[in-house]
């Protein structure tokens, strides 16, 4: 006689284990993608970089597989689901909590203002109102630079604009110059901020955009070349304390940014409040705007309220270590 009641009898039902094999295989495949994302080749349409850009969102497959496993009443599917859950928590679980702490010595803000911003003055006033001592703006349309300069003049007595990027500071700036990132026009700069706690080399960069095309995949070769050039410039930096602000058009998981990410720490990863997604502003799906540091200690990192741009401004507080 087949048992039909009792907790032990339920788990001994043959169908409970035989059903859901396909769902279990899907869980294993999802786990493998997250664990071995660095092994996904970039030779075909930069597929690896595309997967790494949206890697945190692979976790959305977990509740889908959970519901399907419950519908199928499959113990096999539900147990296999523990694999991707454990991997996702290991990779991103620490990012969903608030890791900030301390006041820090310097607040910095970076914002891609969007060349077609319909309210440049309002955007400038919003980010200036954040209280940042150092402000970086990217995607500055040449004809709109005077608007930003006028709106920020009262708050930031020192500034430098190089091509389409600019740096505003409450503290003196020196050595402002363009940084060649192999584009033929200026989208990166470097300057020294003379903060009360000491000098800091500040880089502002806007790496080329990437596109997802059906016939070409993830087109990012120009971005990748510029990232390598930016990494080379930072490697030659003589100062110990370095801050990079900008729109890198890539996430910290993207191996194509390794020339930069291997040298600097992400403030969001070290001291952020949540994932800190910054783009697109209407429904942020990825953190492609970055604040990264070397020789200083991140104590807080967060996104600011939306402006008229398609990116969210990002902010961080850092402690300047005494040298």
Q: DSSP assignment of 99-152, as one string?
A: ---S--SEEEEEEE--TT-S-HHHHHHHHHTTT-SEEEEES--GGGHHHHHHHH
Q: Is 181 exposed, middle or buried (0-12, 13-18, 19+ CB in 10 A)?
A: buried
Res 140: pLDDT: 98
Contact between residue 252 and residue 261 where contact means Cβ atoms under 8 Å apart: yes
**Domain 106-320 fold:** Deoxyribonuclease I; Chain A (3.60.10)
3-state DSSP assignment of residue 190:
strand
β-pairing, 188-195 vs 173-178, is: antiparallel
Is residue 208 a contact partner of residue 248, using CB atoms and an 8 Å limit?
A: no
The answer, as to whether pTM is greater than 0.75, is yes
Task: Please report the pLDDT score of residue 17 as a whole number.
Answer: 66
C-alpha 135/C-alpha 18 separation (Å) is: 59
Residue 213, exposed/middle/buried by CB under 10 A (0-12, 13-18, 19+)? Answer: exposed
pLDDT, residue 46, reads 76
Three-state secondary structure string covering 234-249: HHCCCCCCEEEEEECC
Instruction: Note the pLDDT of residue 323.
Output: 43
Q: What is the CA radius of gyration of the chain?
A: 23
pLDDT, position 18? 72
| Residue spans per domain, the chain | 7-95, 106-320
For residue 48, the model assigns a pLDDT of: 86
- 10-residue stretch averages of pLDDT, the chain, 323 residues long: 49 66 96 94 80 93 96 93 96 86 91 98 98 98 97 98 98 98 96 97 94 55 93 98 97 94 96 94 96 97 97 97 55
At residue 174, the pLDDT reads 98
* Separation of alpha carbons 201 and 168, rounded Å: 14
What CA–CA distance (Å, rounded) separates 189 from 18?
61
Q: Return d(Cα 8, Cα 116) in angstroms, integer.
A: 65
CB of 244 closer than 8 Å to CB of 234: yes
Task: Let me know: does 201 contact 242? Beta carbons within 8 Å.
Answer: yes
The pLDDT, as a whole number, for residue 4 is 47
Q: Which residues contact 299 (CB under 8 A, 6 or more apart)?
A: 100, 101, 102, 103, 104, 271, 317, 318, 319
Structure tokens belonging to residue 15: 């169908």
- Buried b / exposed e over 309-319, threshold 16 CB at 10 Å, is bbbbbbbbbbb
């Amino acid at each position: 006689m087949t048992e039909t009641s009792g907790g032990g009898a339920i788990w001994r039902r043959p169908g409970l284990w035989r059903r859901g094999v396909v769902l279990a295989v899907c869980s294993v495949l999802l786990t493998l993608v997250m664990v071995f994302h660095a092994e996904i080749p970039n030779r075909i349409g930069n597929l690896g970089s595309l997967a790494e850009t949206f890697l945190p969102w692979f976790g959305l497959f977990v509740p889908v597989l959970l519901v399907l496993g419950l519908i199928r009443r499959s113990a096999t599917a539900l147990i296999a689901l523990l694999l991707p859950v454990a991997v996702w928590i290991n990779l991103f679980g620490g990012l969903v909590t608030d890791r900030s702490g301390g006041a820090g010595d310097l607040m910095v803000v970076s914002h891609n203002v969007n060349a077609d911003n319909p309210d440049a003055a309002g955007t400038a006033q919003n980010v200036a109102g954040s209280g940042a001592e150092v402000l970086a703006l990217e995607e500055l349309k040449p004809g709109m630079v005077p608007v930003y300069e006028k709106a920020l003049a009262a708050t930031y007595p020192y500034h430098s604009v190089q091509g389409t990027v600019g740096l505003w500071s409450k503290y003196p700036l020196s050595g402002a110059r363009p940084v060649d990132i192999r584009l033929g026009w200026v989208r990166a700069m470097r300057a020294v901020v003379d903060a009360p706690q000491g000098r800091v080399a500040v880089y502002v960069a806007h790496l080329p955009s990437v596109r997802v095309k059906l016939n070409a995949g993830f087109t990012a070769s120009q971005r990748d070349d510029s990232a390598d050039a930016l990494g080379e410039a930072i490697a030659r930096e003589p100062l110990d304390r370095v801050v990079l602000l900008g729109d890198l058009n890539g996430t910290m998981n993207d191996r194509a940014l390794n020339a930069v990410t291997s040298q600097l720490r992400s403030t969001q990863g070290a001291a952020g409040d949540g994932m800190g997604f910054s783009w697109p502003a209407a429904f942020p799906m990825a953190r492609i705007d970055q604040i990264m540091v070397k020789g200083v200690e991140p104590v807080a990192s967060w996104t600011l309220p939306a402006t008229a741009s398609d990116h969210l401004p990002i902010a961080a507080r850092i402690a300047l270590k005494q040298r």
